């Protein structure tokens, strides 16, 4: 396709290409502002390099030169040569769009003949390219503005949501947007296939805001009341009660002993000369004496035991829930003792 016709094999090809470029770039400007003479000169030089590269099938170099020349000065002939370089590179989708752009271009009446030939060439050369293409419709959800590319092709925002021509094969779709995570995915496409791809971008996770910890205000606790003293053991009460009863019994018995002794001294000058009827009083005097001594001994022992238990009273309060020990002495004719209740 690129080398069709006999023009490429003529002697003096360089002069013909230079003349063609000059005639093309000297024509009427179509779309952009009027280029400067410096722009025209640079574009002519780039076009000559592009044509030479195209003849030796250095399609990468030819594509670069025609693209840069077209950026300086618009001419349909430059666009068609650019498309031919893309066909040689295998980038049929991009070549199709350039051919399609050229064949639809409205030329002014005074357009150069080279421009008219370029439009006719585009109409003819696009036909064998079209069956080798697939069509993909890309829809983006998430960002208001997204940057979309398929391989080396940048999709303009106007192409989103519309069928976009690509050569059949394996492609990589890349979508990015401000504030969203970039996403890449494989995009296989067959010749003649029509695909619809919807890409939804996820927003960039927001970093958690560090919040300085607030120190809690110190809380003054009211002083706890001292624990209640442990209850006194019932055995402490019993010991003191027994001691008190012993002292009481000893005291009463001692008083009775003194009374009997005083009475016997008046009736008995001595124990050997006591009358027989006083024998019971003597025995009772002895009983009061023994009981008094035992009572005082019990009183001292009880008081001592109670003091020891009081100083070492247990912390168990269970005993306080029981009834307290009550001890009381009693005296009756011929009998002295103690009684208690729990």
| Whole-number pLDDT of residue 144 | 84
Q: Lowest mean pLDDT: which of 9-23, 70-84, 131-145, 203-217?
A: 9-23
DSSP state of 271: G
Q: Decide: 137 and 107 in contact? Cβ < 8 Å.
A: no
Fold of 132-200: Immunoglobulin-like (2.60.40)
Domain boundaries along the sequence of the chain: 12-128, 132-200, 234-341
Task: Centre a 10 Å sphere on the Cβ of residue 220 and count the other Cβ atoms it contains.
Answer: 6
Q: Decide: 182 and 188 in contact? Cβ < 8 Å.
A: no
Task: Centre a 10 Å sphere on the Cβ of residue 153 and count the other Cβ atoms it contains.
Answer: 17
d(CA 150, CA 137): 12
Q: Lowest mean pLDDT: which of 55-59, 105-109, 218-222?
A: 218-222
Residue length of the chain: 342
CATH code for the part of the protein at 12-128: 1.25.40
Of 63-77, 147-161, 299-313, where does the model show the most confidence?
63-77
* Of 90, 78, 91, 87, the residue nearest 119 (C-alpha): 78
Identical fold at 12-128 and 132-200?
no
193: tokens are 């296939």
Three-state DSSP at 338 gives: strand
| Whole-number pLDDT of residue 131 | 93
d(CA 98, CA 121): 12
199 contact partners, CB below 8 Å, separation of at least 6 = 138, 139, 140, 141, 173, 175, 183, 185
pLDDT tens-digit map of 63-106: 999 999 999 999 999 999 999 999 999 999 999 999 999 999 99
């Amino acid at each position: 396709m690129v080398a069709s016709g006999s023009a490429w094999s003529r002697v003096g090809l360089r002069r013909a290409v230079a003349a063609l470029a000059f005639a093309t770039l000297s024509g009427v400007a179509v779309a952009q502002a009027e280029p400067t003479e410096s722009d025209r000169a640079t574009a002519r030089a780039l076009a000559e390099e592009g044509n030479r590269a195209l003849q030796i099938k250095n399609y990468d170099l030819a594509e670069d030169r025609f693209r840069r020349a077209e950026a300086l000065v618009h001419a349909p002939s430059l666009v068609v040569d650019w498309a031919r370089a893309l066909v040689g590179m295998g980038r049929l989708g991009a070549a199709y769009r350039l051919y399609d752009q050229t064949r639809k271009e409205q030329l002014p009446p005074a357009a150069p003949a080279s421009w008219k030939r370029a439009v006719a060439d585009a109409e003819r050369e696009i036909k064998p390219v079209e069956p080798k293409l697939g069509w993909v419709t890309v829809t983006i959800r998430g960002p208001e503005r997204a940057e979309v590319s398929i391989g080396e092709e940048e999709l303009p925002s106007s192409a989103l949501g519309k069928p976009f021509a690509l050569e059949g094969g394996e492609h990589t779709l890349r979508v990015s947007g401000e504030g969203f995570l970039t996403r890449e995915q494989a995009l296989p496409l067959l010749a003649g296939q029509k695909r619809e791809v919807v890409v939804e971008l996820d927003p960039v996770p927001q970093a958690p805001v560090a919040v300085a910890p607030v120190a809690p205000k110190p809380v003054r606790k009211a002083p706890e009341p001292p624990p209640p003293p442990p209850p006194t053991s019932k055995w402490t009460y019993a010991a003191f009660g027994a001691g008190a009863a012993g002292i009481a019994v000893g005291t009463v018995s001692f008083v009775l002993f003194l009374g009997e002794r005083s009475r016997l001294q008046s009736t008995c000058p001595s124990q050997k000369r006591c009358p027989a009827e006083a024998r019971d009083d003597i025995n009772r005097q002895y009983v009061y004496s023994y009981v008094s001594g035992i009572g005082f001994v019990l009183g001292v022992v009880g008081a001592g035991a109670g003091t020891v238990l009081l100083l070492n009273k247990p912390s168990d309060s269970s005993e306080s829930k029981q009834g307290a020990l009550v001890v009381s002495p009693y005296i009756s004719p011929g009998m002295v003792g103690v009684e208690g209740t729990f």
